[in-house]
Amino acid sequence: AQSVTQPDIHITVSEGASLELRCNYSYGATPYLFWYVQSPGQGLQLLLKYFSGDTLVQGIKGFEAEFKRSQSSFNLRKPSVHWSDAAEYFCAVGPPPNFGNEKLTFGTGTRLTIIP
Amino acid sequence: GAVVSQHPSWVICKSGTSVKIECRSLDFQATTMFWYRQFPKQSLMLMATSNEGSKATYEQGVEKDKFLINHASLTLSTLTVTSAHPEDSSFYICSAARGAGRVTGELFFGEGSRLTVL
């Protein structure tokens, strides 16, 4: 069965500092990996996704993630956070693209707090 | 980007009543929509897959008679919580897969609907 682990429930970072959010997955085949962000009272917005190709993926809002198969990880990074980045971040894993089944398994989320 | 809208954003109801939540894809057609439930400080749990023009597919452990799903058009899916009880209180989120038939796996999420059952 597929699963996603986000070990950090809550992270606090100073504005302008770098950020890394951890994500580990378990999937029986080649995973399709996602990072979503959820602001209070809003839906989830896709930050980036990875299935194949370059293991360092660039996303929106200055975020990037690196896929490491040997570590079953897909950590999200940002070199310098902004106060507007405060939100809940979810890592998710799903079947390959065009598989016809878009079921995603989500991690428990990491809440990011930014301090001035 | 594509827009998915849920209504209502929040609803309070009495125990024993039924509540309907709508999920609309505003600028694209969605043959497949998904309904999730999110408990406080927990992950999104997939409840069911809603397919336009056919019956929904429920995940294991989700009561289909309790959570009625109707996907009557390519832009609208509804979730009805029947005979609601306090334990049904939760945040319900829908998502839609853009494109007819098979898609590339990107989902667009609604804003969520918070249900409180008294």
How far apart CA A22 and CA A110 sit, in angstroms, is: 9
B110 touches A at CB < 8 Å:
yes
Q: Which residues in chain A have their CB less than 8 angstroms from residue B106's CB?
A: 46, 49
Tell me, what's the pLDDT at A85? Answer: 96
CA A68 to mean position of chain CA atoms: 13
Which residues are paired to B96 by β-bridges? B33, B108
B6, A43: Cβ pair inside 8 Å?
yes
A108, B43: Cβ pair inside 8 Å?
yes
B57 touches A at CB < 8 Å:
no
B41, A104: Cβ pair inside 8 Å?
no
Using CA atoms, how far residue A69 sits from A1, A11, A40, A64, B16, in Å, is 17, 25, 32, 16, 49
Q: Are B56 and B48 in contact (CB under 8 A)?
A: yes
Handedness of CA B56, B57, B62, B65 (dihedral sign): positive
Q: Which residues in chain B have their CB less than 8 angstroms from residue A43's CB?
A: 4, 6, 93, 95, 108-112
A49 touches B at CB < 8 Å:
yes
A43, B97: Cβ pair inside 8 Å?
no
Shortest CB distance from B102 goes to which of A51, A98, A107? A98
Question: In this prediction, what percent of chain B has a pLDDT beyond 90?
Answer: 61
User: Per residue in B58-116, pLDDT tens?
Assistant: 999 999 999 999 988 889 999 999 999 999 999 999 998 875 444 455 788 999 999 99
Tell me, what's the pLDDT at B98? Answer: 72
User: Mean pLDDT over all residues of chain B?
Assistant: 88
A43, B43: Cβ pair inside 8 Å?
no
CA B22 to mean position of chain CA atoms: 7
Shortest CB distance from A100 goes to which of B1, B43, B102? B102
Residue by residue, pLDDT tens for chain A (116 residues) are: 789 999 999 999 999 999 999 999 998 778 889 999 998 877 788 999 998 889 999 999 999 999 999 999 999 999 999 999 999 999 999 877 655 566 788 999 999 999 99
A99, B105: Cβ pair inside 8 Å?
yes
A31 touches B at CB < 8 Å:
no
